[in-house]
A and B are shown apart, each in its own frame.
Chain A
Amino acid sequence: MAEDKIVVDVLTLDSVQCAACGYMMESMAAMPAEVQELIEYKEWSIKNKTGIGKFMELKGKVLPSIAIEGDIVFPSIIPQYEELIDEMVKRAKTPAVAEKLEAARETGFQFDKITENLKKAGCGQSTRSDS
Chain B
Amino acid sequence: MSKQMLIDAYRGKRTASAPWVPYSGVHCAFLINEKADDFLKSPELMAKGIVHTAKQYKADGIPLLFDLSVEASSVGCELKWWEDNVPSVATHPCSEKTPEEAGLTIPTKNDGRWPTIFEAAKLAKPQLDDLDCAMMGLVCGPLTLASHLAGVRIFTDVYKNPEFAQAVLEYAGMVCEAAVGFYAEMGCEIIALVDPVASQIRDTTFREFVTPHCQPAIKAIHNANLTSSFFICGDCTKVMDEVCKLGTHGFAVDEQLNMNFIRDKAREYGLGFGGNLKLTLSLSLGLISPREDAIVSLAAGGSHGYTFSPG
Binding site for B on A (CB under 8 A): 13-20, 22-24, 26-27, 30, 46-47, 52, 62-64, 75-82, 108-109, 111, 114-115, 124, 127-129
Which one of B102-110, B115-123, B192-200, B241-249 is at the interface? Answer: B192-200
Q: Which residues of A are found within 8 Å of B147, using beta-carbon distances?
A: 19, 23
Contact A129 B233 (CB under 8 A): no
Contact B201 A109 (CB under 8 A): no
Chain B interface, DSSP helix/strand/loop, else mixed: mixed
In the complex the two chains form, what is the Cα distance from A29 to B41 in whole Å? 29
In the complex the two chains form, what is the Cα distance from A124 to B82 in whole Å? 9
User: Could you name 11 residue pairs across A and B whose Cβ atoms are closer than 8 Å?
Assistant: A15-B88, A16-B82, A18-B196, A19-B144, A20-B196, A27-B152, A63-B235, A64-B234, A76-B200, A76-B235, A78-B201
Q: Which of B68, B84, B90, B156 is A81 in contact with, Cβ under 8 Å? A: B156
Contact B84 A79 (CB under 8 A): no
In the complex the two chains form, what is the Cα distance from A40 to B285 in whole Å? 28
In the complex the two chains form, what is the Cα distance from A49 to B201 in whole Å? 29
* B142–chain A nearest beta-carbon distance, Å: 12
Chain A interface, DSSP helix/strand/loop, else mixed: loop
Q: Which of B92, B148, B234, B284 is A129 in contact with, Cβ under 8 Å? A: B284
* A80–chain B nearest beta-carbon distance, Å: 4
Contact A26 B151 (CB under 8 A): yes
Contact B85 A17 (CB under 8 A): yes
Contact B197 A20 (CB under 8 A): yes
B280 within 8 A of A: yes
In the complex the two chains form, what is the Cα distance from A47 to B201 in whole Å? 24
Q: Which of A17, A23, A76, A78 is B86 in contact with, Cβ under 8 Å? A: A17
Interface residues on B, range: 35 or more
Contact A80 B233 (CB under 8 A): no
Q: Which residues of B are found within 8 Å of A52, using beta-carbon distances?
A: 285
Binding site for A on B (CB under 8 A): 68, 80, 82, 84-86, 88-90, 92, 95-96, 144, 147-148, 151-153, 155-156, 159-160, 196-197, 199-202, 233-235, 256, 280, 284-285
In the complex the two chains form, what is the Cα distance from A114 to B95 in whole Å? 12
In the complex the two chains form, what is the Cα distance from A52 to B280 in whole Å? 11
In the complex the two chains form, what is the Cα distance from A15 to B197 in whole Å? 12
Q: Which of B197, B234, B280 is A47 in contact with, Cβ under 8 Å? A: B280
Q: 7 closest Cβ contacts across the A-B interface?
A: A62-B235, A76-B235, A80-B156, A78-B200, A26-B152, A78-B155, A111-B95
Contact A80 B284 (CB under 8 A): no
Contact B155 A27 (CB under 8 A): yes
Q: Which residues of A are found within 8 Å of B90, using beta-carbon distances?
A: 114-115
Please name 16 further chain A to chain B contacts, defined as beta carbons within 8 Å, in addition to the given A16-B85, A26-B151, sorted by A numbering: A15-B88, A19-B144, A20-B200, A20-B233, A22-B88, A23-B155, A23-B197, A24-B200, A30-B151, A30-B152, A78-B152, A78-B201, A108-B153, A111-B92, A114-B90, A115-B90
